């Protein structure tokens, strides 16, 4: 199902979640979002990439520790 009002698009995570579900394996996905689901995504990606990576790293450190 496609939601045209989505705040984000996650194609790579879907494949991981699909296979995990198929084999009844629990999975959690953490993604740094660097752009929203609109037509200017490429420009926003490069503008926000470092901030998204930094925030994702902080979250992972919190979870691991």
Domain boundaries, the chain: 11-64
Comparison of pLDDT for 59 and 6, the residue scoring more: 59
Question: In this predicted structure, what is the pLDDT of residue 7?
Answer: 67
The single residue listed with the structure tokens 């496609």 is 2
The per-residue pLDDT for range 19-56, each reduced to its tens digit, is: 999 999 999 888 777 766 666 667 777 778 888 888 88
Question: In this predicted structure, what is the pLDDT of residue 56?
Answer: 87
**What is the distance between the alpha carbons of residues 25 and 17, in angstroms, rounded to a whole number?**
9
Please, are residues 17 and 47 in contact by the beta-carbon 8 Å criterion?
no
């Amino acid at each position: 199902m496609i939601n045209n009002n989505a705040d984000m698009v996650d194609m790579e995570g879907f494949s991981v979640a699909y296979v995990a579900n198929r084999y009844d394996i629990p999975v959690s996905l953490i993604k740094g979002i660097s752009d929203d689901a609109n037509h200017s995504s490429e420009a926003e990606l490069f503008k926000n990439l470092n901030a998204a990576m930094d925030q994702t790293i902080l979250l992972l450190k919190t979870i691991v520790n």
